[in-house]
Structure 1
Amino acid sequence: MIKVENLSFSFPQKELYKNISFTLEEAQHCAFIGTSGSGKSTLIDILMDTERYLFEGLLEMEPSCTLGYVSQFSHLDQTKETTVFEYIGEEFIKIQNEIQSICTEMETSSDIEPLLEKYQLALDAFDSIGGDHFESNINKKLNLANLLKLKDSRVSDLSGGEFKLIQVMKEMLNSPDLMIMDEPDVFLDFENLNALKNLINAHKGILLVITHNRYLLNHCFNKIIHLENMEIQEFDGRYLEYNFSLLQTKIELQELTVAEKEEMERNENIIDNLRAIATYNSEASRGRALKARVRFQERLEARRLKAPFVDIKQPIISFGIDHEIQDSVVVNVNNYSVAFDELLLENVNFEIKSTDKVALIGANGTGKTTLLREIFNNNHDSIEINADAKVAYLSQLQGEMLKDSNTILEEFIDAGFNTYDEIRSYLANYGFEGEILNQKIASLSGGERNILQLAKVSGSKANVLLLDEPTSHLDTYTQIALEKAITDYKGAIIMISHDFYSVVNGMDYVLIIDDKTIRKMSMRKFRQMIYASHFDKDYLETEQKKKSVEMKIELALKDTDFERAKGLVDELEALIKLL
């Protein structure tokens, strides 16, 4: 269906792809992954509008191939009074009205021939979208996403997550040959995320989905395209199997690297000895032997193994603290309520201690962001902040904390850094180096902007962190680096997140919104609740065993015990088959 061969493309300030090739074929549900800023969205733009970009190489698409697209950003015309059914069935209703209009015109027209032609074209269009079953298909899709109850609701009344699912359904029901989705999971609560999983898995056409969501990656795709360091790697199989393949390669490469290093050290010793001999023995044969050894060493250096997809550099995220608060309450919420068009939260009471790491969990539109923002602003009568607390805030609305018209350097001067050199040194840990530091924030990807927010939060040295969807747009490598930073942090965290893995891997407990109030839930009970709803009964135990074996493999690699690592790989493979 789609074939890309040796495609290269650059912006003036950055080379994105160098001779990349891949194919997309019938029945493939493909996850498109890669670190933030690697050019995934740009490649999608090229596929969607090849005439707009000047690139080298070949991009072939079957002429009859139709495309569907769901952007990572939701746009809704709030002035339109459209129901969910009317929004999803827009094309169906339009063709249906056209057929009715032609039939009405035919009743009174004396020139029937052109109308018959128009009528046939409209019928063909109606058939192409499965018109006879379209209403039934809408109901099936809504039911699959557990949203049938919203069929007659106004689209303007939907939450952001519900509207995203409606967009996905609308594109799927138009039956495109290739459907492209750019981070459709961003900000979806877990119920809506599970609905998206069901929609993806039930779709019959080709899918190309940019996503960093580990839940979707583990449960939705049969092909992986991985873009990294201007190169692309294709893998036919599940994401779990792809990661397993990368781990096998990593073990092989590290074993070879150790052997090469030993060989190079032996050769270096021989060169040193030959150089020492050459200082008092000037025979030509000694000189030739030395030159031969130096050339051999250069060849060893040149063939050192490089693996752009195996050992990807994670940002170094570290939340330091200027001043620790010992064993006291840092945030106290007492009898808090909030309402907009309707009451969202009522009589909410909880306290956060100085080292608590807490996830604030609830469906889209239940008041989580409003509460977190009011804690940050600290001007609500029901919210009390410890006098010794220094609070930093990461917003899901990136423009709230980052100024689009600033360059990266200007943003961090505004944040209190003293010199450009200090900023350059600091941001190198987060993967920002070279010319990108002079780019406007508006030109960055969503993932890059969220990493910048994390860098600003880290630079504040605050002892209370308020993180609103910190993993949104972040690649999986940065998500894991963030989880480590959260685990190591010595202060308090309140985190809104719909990313199940970030919650269970980093938080002490959850505050869950239930019936307009908030109650505390242990992490053990939260895990059981999620797994009971969406997984087989043995899945949790198998996943925990898998994680344990992966940690043992990492330790074996640190000790360069490759035989033990290979033995554990067999154990890991058996567990992955169960998942």
Structure 2
Amino acid sequence: MIKVDNLSYSFPQKNLYDKISFTIEDGQHCAFIGTSGSGKSTLIDIIMDPEKYLFDGKLDIDPNCRIGYVSQFSQLGKVKETTVFEYIGEEFIKLQNEITSICAEMETASDIDTLLERYQQASDAFDAINGDEFESNINKKLNLANLNKHKDLMISDLSGGEFKLIQVIKEMLNSPDLIIMDEPDVFLDFENLNSLKNLINSYKKTMLVITHNRYLLNHCFNKIIHLENMGLQEFDGRYIDYNFSLLQTKIELQELAIADIEEIERNKTLINKLRFIATNNSDASKGKTLKARVKIQERLETRRIKAPFVDIKQPYINLASDNKIEEETIILKVNDYSVSFDEILLENVSFEIKSNEKVALIGSNGSGKTTLLREIFKNNHDSIEINKDVKLAYLSQLQVEILNESNTIIEEFFDAGFKTNQEIKSYISNYGFDEKVMNQKIESLSGGEKNILQLAKVASNNANLLLLDEPTSHLDTYSQIALEKAIENYNGAILMISHDYYSIINCMDYVLIIEDKTIRKISMRKFRKMIYSNHFDKDYLEIEQKKKSVETKIALALKDTDFELAKILSEELEKLIKLL
């Protein structure tokens, strides 16, 4: 369906791809992964509109291939007011009305040849999208997404997550040969995420989906396309198996790399000795021996193992604060809090958080989580009491609330209180931003890069209470894991809105769940039971925990260069993966 051969493309400030090649076959469900800013969305733009870009290499697309597209950005505000059914069925209803209109014209027309041609074209288009069964198919997809009760609702009454699912259903029912989706999971609550999984798995045609969501990656795809460090590799199989193959490669390459490094160091020592002898000896042969040894060193450096898919930059996120408050101190108290817009969102909500607690705030899309977090940050509501020793930092799911997108990265951190260019460059380089992009406008960054930048600003505040609204959204899996480590090591309190159950399970002490317009506290044990009983097979959680434990042991073995132990543990890991 699509064949890319030796494609290269660059921005003025950045090289994106260097001779990448891949194919997408009919019927494959491909997950498109890679670190933030590696060029995934740009490559999708090239596939959808190749005439717009000047690239080297070949891009062949079946000329009859119809492509559907779901953007990572919500289009809810741009859609005209209509019902859910009419929105999904727009193309069907339009063709149906056209066919009816042509038939009416035929009744009075003297020359019907042109009308017959138009009728045939409209009829063929209607058949191509299975028009005769469109009402039945809409109902099936709505049921699959657990949105059957929303059929007659107005589009404006939907939450952002519900509308994203409706967009996916609309594209699927238009029956394109290839559906491309750019992070369709962003901001979806647990139920909607599960609905998206069901929709993806029900689609029988070809898919290319950019996603960093570990739940979808583990349950929806039979091919992985991985873009990293200007290179690309493809893997036929599950994401979990691809990750395992990367780990095995890492063990092998690190072992070989150690041998390479040892040989390079031995040669370097010899060069230093020869250089000393050559400078203190007029014998020309000594200089020739030195030159020969330097050439050997150059060859060793050239052939040194490079692994673009193993050596992946992970940002170093450090949230630690030196404004620590005693552990038993209550730093946030919410008492009898209520909020309403057109209707009541939250009513008589009360809870408190201590200075060392890490708390997840969860609930369905549109239940009032972000509103509550903003109110706490503003701290001007009678029902909200914050300890006088608390210093707050806030990360917003709406990145423009925290970042001035017309600023460059340098300007943004000068505004945040940094004093010199060098101080900013030194600090921000930990987060994966090199000098080349320091003077780049923030608006030109990817969604993931903007969130990493937000995290860098949050971390620089030295705050002892963090309010994080969907901090893993748009982040690649490597950055998600880096954030989890940072949260685990943080010595203050966190209130975090999230729909990423991996982050919640790995990092949080307990959960505040919004149900029936109020909030109740549940333990992590109950949360695990609730989520895993609804979304996973019986033993999934236990196997996942064992898998994580073995992966941690492998990481430690590699750190200690104990490659034999790493290989033994990888065999244990492979057995667990087969169970999943």
Residue 277 of structure 1: how far off its partner (Å)? 5.4
Secondary structure (helix, strand or coil) at the match of 2:37 reads: coil
AA matched with 1:401: I
Tell me whether 1:408 sits opposite 2:430 in the alignment: no
Distance in 1 of aligned mates of 2:79 and 2:185: 26
What's the TM-score once normalised by structure 1's chain length? Answer: 0.97
Tell me whether 1:462 sits opposite 2:466 in the alignment: no
What's the TM-score once normalised by structure 2's chain length? Answer: 0.97
Q: Who is 1:548 aligned against?
A: 549
Identify which range, 353-362 or 319-328, moves more after superposition. Answer: 319-328
Distance in 2 of aligned mates of 1:159 and 1:269: 65
Deviations 1:528-560 (A, max 9, x none): 111111111011111111111111111111121
Contact 2:320 2:489 in 1 (8 A): no
Distance in 1 of aligned mates of 2:141 and 2:504: 29
Distance in 2 of aligned mates of 1:360 and 1:150: 26
Change (3 A) 1:469 1:81: same
Q: Who is 1:569 aligned against?
A: 570
Q: Who is 1:356 aligned against?
A: 357
Moved over 6 A (4+): none
Change (3 A) 1:109 1:386: same
Deviations 1:76-116 (A, max 9, x none): 35673311111111111111111111111112222222112
Q: Who is 1:237 aligned against?
A: 237
Residue 241 of structure 1: how far off its partner (Å)? 0.8
Distance in 1 of aligned mates of 2:135 and 2:454: 44
Secondary structure (helix, strand or coil) at the match of 2:41 reads: helix
Residue 268 of structure 1: how far off its partner (Å)? 3.4
Residue 16 of structure 1: how far off its partner (Å)? 1.3
Q: Who is 2:441 aligned against?
A: 440
AA matched with 2:492: G
Q: Who is 2:503 aligned against?
A: 502
Distance in 2 of aligned mates of 1:58 and 1:209: 22
Deviations 1:378-420 (A, max 9, x none): 0101000111100000000111111122111111111111122
Residue 261 of structure 1: how far off its partner (Å)? 2.0
Distance in 2 of aligned mates of 1:479 and 1:175: 34
Q: Who is 2:142 aligned against?
A: 142
Deviations 1:220-271 (A, max 9, x none): 1111111111111111111101110110000001100111222233333444
Distance in 1 of aligned mates of 2:16 and 2:474: 19
Tell me whether 1:41 sits opposite 2:41 in the alignment: yes
Distance in 2 of aligned mates of 1:13 and 1:264: 33
Tell me whether 1:58 sits opposite 2:58 in the alignment: yes
Can you give the 5+ residue segments of structure 2 that lack an aligned partner in the other structure?
none
Residue 13 of structure 1: how far off its partner (Å)? 1.9
AA matched with 1:130: N
Can you give the 5+ residue segments of structure 1 that lack an aligned partner in the other structure?
none
Residue 121 of structure 1: how far off its partner (Å)? 1.3
Residue 290 of structure 1: how far off its partner (Å)? 3.8
Secondary structure (helix, strand or coil) at the match of 2:23 reads: strand
Identify which range, 328-337 or 71-80, moves more after superposition. Answer: 71-80
Residue 348 of structure 1: how far off its partner (Å)? 0.5
AA matched with 1:381: D
Question: Where does 1:311-390 land on structure 2 (aligned, <5 Å)?
Answer: 311-326=311-326, 327-390=328-391
Q: Who is 2:163 aligned against?
A: 163
Distance in 1 of aligned mates of 2:191 and 2:309: 32
Q: Who is 1:96 aligned against?
A: 96
Residue 212 of structure 1: how far off its partner (Å)? 0.7
Contact 1:159 1:365 in 2 (8 A): yes
Distance in 2 of aligned mates of 1:508 and 1:11: 44
Q: Who is 1:132 aligned against?
A: 132
Distance in 2 of aligned mates of 1:222 and 1:449: 30
Q: Who is 2:5 aligned against?
A: 5
Q: Who is 1:429 aligned against?
A: 430
Question: Where does 1:15-30 land on structure 2 (aligned, <5 Å)?
Answer: 15-30=15-30
Question: Where does 1:475-554 land on structure 2 (aligned, <5 Å)?
Answer: 475-554=476-555
AA matched with 2:214: R
AA matched with 2:7: L
AA matched with 2:363: G
Tell me whether 1:193 sits opposite 2:183 in the alignment: no
Contact 2:543 2:576 in 1 (8 A): yes
Residue 515 of structure 1: how far off its partner (Å)? 1.0
Residue 42 of structure 1: how far off its partner (Å)? 0.9
Distance in 2 of aligned mates of 1:406 and 1:272: 48
Secondary structure (helix, strand or coil) at the match of 1:108 reads: coil
Distance in 1 of aligned mates of 2:552 and 2:271: 40
Distance in 1 of aligned mates of 2:290 and 2:393: 60
Contact 1:78 1:156 in 2 (8 A): no
Aligned residues: 579
